[in-house]
């Protein structure tokens, strides 16, 4: 997390806790020439509704105005972490151990750059999947992203 994202996370955490929400992630990115500040929220029970995003945004607006953590203009967005959210922190992997995930790699392993399976282990960035009973591990340097996968 960059410095701005970390500062906003620190500002947002007490607001989220007061509202019974979790902060899943904060990102500050430039897209198509504009800066975007995105806060992704989550809730253990019942999921996130648009009303949660609206309420959280209304609570955060004056806090961001007062703290002024970003020089210049930006677009502020609040969103659900989503069903197929990216796992980033060790606590994310711990929470979703045994869940279906998709691992995308920087470079092909056995001719593929994408693998799907159940999250079997996570240790110091090394991701292990159970793929139909066969365990396959990927070293941290190879892993571009790990996302939850919704199975239909």
pLDDT tens digit sequence for 114-146: 999 999 999 999 999 999 999 999 999 999 999
pLDDT value for 73: 93
Distance of CA 16 to the CA centre of its chain: 15
Pair 87, 138: CB distance under 8 Å: no
> Exposed e or buried b for every residue in 26-65, given b needs 16+ CB within 10 A?
bebeeeeeebebbbbbbbeeeebeeebbebbbebbeeebe
Rounded-to-integer distance, Cα 112 and Cα 105, Å: 8
Distance CA 33, CA 66 (A): 25
Residue 8 to residue 115: CA distance in whole angstroms: 33
Give the mean model confidence (pLDDT) for residues 72-83.
Answer: 94
Topology of the domain comprising 3-80: GMP Synthetase; Chain A, domain 3 (3.30.300)
Given a cut of 80, whether residue 1 has pLDDT beyond it is: no
pLDDT band at 92 (very low <50, low <70, confident <90, very high): very high
Q: Which CATH class is domain 90-148?
A: mainly beta
The residue ranges of every structural domain in the chain are 3-80, 90-148
Residues forming a β-bridge with 76: 37
What tens digit of pLDDT does each residue of 25-65 get?
Answer: 999 999 999 999 999 999 978 889 999 999 999 999 999 99
- Whole-number pLDDT of residue 151: 82
Res. 2 pLDDT band, cuts 50 70 90: confident
- pTM for the whole structure: 0.81
Query: Whole-angstrom Cα distance, residue 93 to residue 96?
Result: 5
Query: How far apart (Å, rounded) are the C-alpha atoms in residues 53 and 66?
Result: 20
Residues 73/52, Cβ–Cβ less than 8 Å? no
Average pLDDT, the chain: 94
């Amino acid at each position: 997390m960059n410095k701005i994202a970390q500062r906003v996370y620190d500002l947002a955490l007490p607001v989220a806790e007061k509202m019974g929400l979790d902060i899943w992630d904060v990102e500050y990115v430039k897209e198509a020439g504009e800066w975007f500040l995105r806060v992704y929220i989550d809730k253990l029970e019942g999921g996130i509704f648009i009303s949660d995003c609206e309420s959280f945004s209304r609570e955060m607006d004056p806090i961001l105005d007062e703290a002024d953590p970003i020089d210049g203009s930006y677009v502020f967005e609040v969103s659900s972490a989503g069903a197929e959210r990216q796992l980033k922190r060790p606590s994310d992997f711990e929470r979703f151990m045994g869940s279906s995930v998709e691992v995308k790699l920087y470079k092909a392993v056995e001719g593929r750059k994408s693998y799907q399976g159940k999250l079997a282990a996570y240790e110091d960035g090394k991701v292990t999947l159970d793929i139909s009973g066969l365990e396959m591990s990927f070293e941290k340097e190879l892993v571009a992203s790990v996302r939850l996968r919704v199975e239909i």
